[in-house]
Amino acid sequence: MNKLIKTYLFFTSLLLPALSFAQELPFQAAEISVSPAIQHSFVRGGRILIYLSAKTGKEPRRNSDLLIGYTPSDWDGTTALILDSKDKMIRHTDLANGFVPEPKKFYYQAVYKQNIDDGQANVPGNIVSEIDSVDIVGGSARLNVRFNKIIPPYEIVQNKFVRNVVIQSKCLTEFSGHPRYLKASILLPSGYFDNPGLSYPVCYRVPGLNGRYDGVNGMIKNPQFSEWWFSKGTPQIIYVFVDSQGPFGDSYQVDSENNGPCGKAFTQELIPEIEKLVHYDSNSGKRYLAGASTGGWVVLGLQIFYPDFFNGAWAYSPDPVDFEHYGLINIYKDESAFYNRFGYLQPESRTVLGEPKGSMKEAIEDENVQSRTNNYLVSGDQFGAYNAVFGPRGKDGLPSLMFDPETGKIDHEIAVQWEKYDLKKVLEKNWPTLGPKLQGKLWIWTGDMDGLYSNVATRFLKMFLDKTENPKSDAKISFTPMAGHCAEWNDKTVLMMVAEKAAGK
């Protein structure tokens, strides 16, 4: 075996009965080898993901045409494993979606998804293979995949004005029974070292779905932003890049039955550590939030759940803030997440011209492939993350599915338990106490042709806020016609608005 542990995955040209669509895999066999050098890092129960792509220029794991998923049963990585196409645990994405199998050269790569603290595939701690290619002719090809590299930890750019914070969270460690960590990177303002001891305003920048704290790297390496940041007249604000890592995908920085007390950890452990490091005066009242997409929902959620702790939130294209309009789905009343009340496939995404380009059914089928449970439960992607953050914990210790992964049928007993994260309902129920605390603190922007239909929920949030009394909400909510998801997000623009707020303008 050439000192390699070999796992054989045999696929015939038979149809795979476990799949939601009758498609043939475009090759007959795949041989997977695990390098002896990384066997000590192997964790049982992980998901094997094989990515195939006809494209060049990017790793297949980041730009694939076809994804195949399989979770070995009680495999320790030291014995041969033989599978055939009749195995009902094999999943793959839809071959009919633009994938032309032959005759053509394809590039392929595999990931062994094993990091229990991060629901994503392309993240530190998982094992990745080399890139190889194969010519698929006559429906026959053999793939030789070798796992030979552990994905390394993120690295933060070395710069005088950048700080890196990593701490072990006491409350998340207690919740999970093993060490869990909180991370952030900090971009200091240009005048920071000229004014020792001065307390600067601080803005916490929350990334989009599954974004990481290495976002500061792109800012420093961007010549236009970097030149602006260190020029005269630039806002003197401490800009903190938040990490969204969670065991089931994005943590959304809120307390959750499945992810643990992430909101508590963020506000009571990470933020005090950061603000101690940068000498922020917690009595100054200049602690702000900014984010787009998932980050947009998070900053609104944090401002609403911790109205006295934060002093303003700028949210662009937030994820659905009203679960009666979860995209185009009413989770409390609709019967299915896959079909609307007219019997048509429920769209999940669209172009700025309104053309549907993906359905909820297709999106969930893709997440089913990514998940070791063969459903979106632990996919680490959008709906797996939603389900873990907003839903209750099941008897098996995993999140409870809000809708069936095969039929889309909504479980309304589970759906109603999402209400405590339905931001519109939270505001409706608590406006007499929350309203006064949120005055002067909410800025929301959305494109009216949002690619994920999230603008619909924001419209209904605005309708509610426009009708509020005692106090009358002063939230600034704007919509741009024909604009798509996050089209107007810009760090410079947001920082200028934060600076005006901090200056009392």
Structure tokens at 155: 């690295």
State the burial class of residue 118 (Cβ atoms within 10 Å of its Cβ: 0-12, 13-18, 19+).
Answer: buried
For residue range 221-232, list pLDDT tens digits in order.
999 999 999 999
Rounded to the nearest 5 percent, the helix, strand and coil shares of the chain are 25, 25, 50
> In this predicted structure, what is the pLDDT of residue 269?
98
d(CA 418, CA 236): 39
Comparing 44-48, 309-313, 328-332, 430-434, the range with the smallest average pLDDT is 44-48
Q: How would residue 100 be classed by pLDDT, with cut points 50, 70 and 90?
A: low
- Of the candidate CATH numbers 3.40.50.1860, 3.40.50.300, 3.40.50.1820, 3.40.630.10, the domain formed by 162-322+424-502 belongs to 3.40.50.1820
Please name which of 73, 165, 60, 48 lies closest in space to residue 106, comparing C-alpha atoms. Answer: 60
Query: Is the predicted pLDDT of residue 16 greater than 60, yes or no?
Result: no
d(CA 177, CA 185): 26
Backbone angles phi, psi at 126, to 5 degrees: -85, 160
Q: How would residue 97 be classed by pLDDT, with cut points 50, 70 and 90?
A: low
For residue range 174-202, list pLDDT tens digits in order.
999 999 999 999 999 999 999 988 999 99
Comparing 70-79, 195-204, 444-453, the range with the smallest average pLDDT is 70-79
Q: Do the Cβ atoms of 95 and 23 come closer than 8 Å? A: yes
For residue range 265-300, list pLDDT tens digits in order.
999 999 999 999 999 999 999 999 999 999 999 999
Structure tokens at 416: 């109603």
Q: What is the 3-state secondary structure (H, E, C) of 23-67?
A: CCCCCCEEEEEECHHHHHHCCCCCEEEEEEECCCCCCHHHCCCEE
For residue range 375-425, list pLDDT tens digits in order.
999 999 999 999 999 999 999 999 999 999 999 999 999 999 999 999 999
Q: What is the 3-state secondary structure (H, E, C) of 357-412?
A: EEEHHHHHHHHHHHCCCCCHHHCCCHHHHHHHHHCCECCCCCECCCECCCCCEECH
> In this predicted structure, what is the pLDDT of residue 154?
95
Q: Do the Cβ atoms of 54 and 106 come closer than 8 Å? A: yes
> In this predicted structure, what is the pLDDT of residue 38?
81
> In this predicted structure, what is the pLDDT of residue 220?
96
| Chain region(s) in the chain for CATH 3.40.50.1820 | 162-322+424-502
Q: How would residue 83 be classed by pLDDT, with cut points 50, 70 and 90?
A: low
d(CA 451, CA 385): 19
Percent of the chain with pLDDT over 90: 76
pTM of the model: 0.93
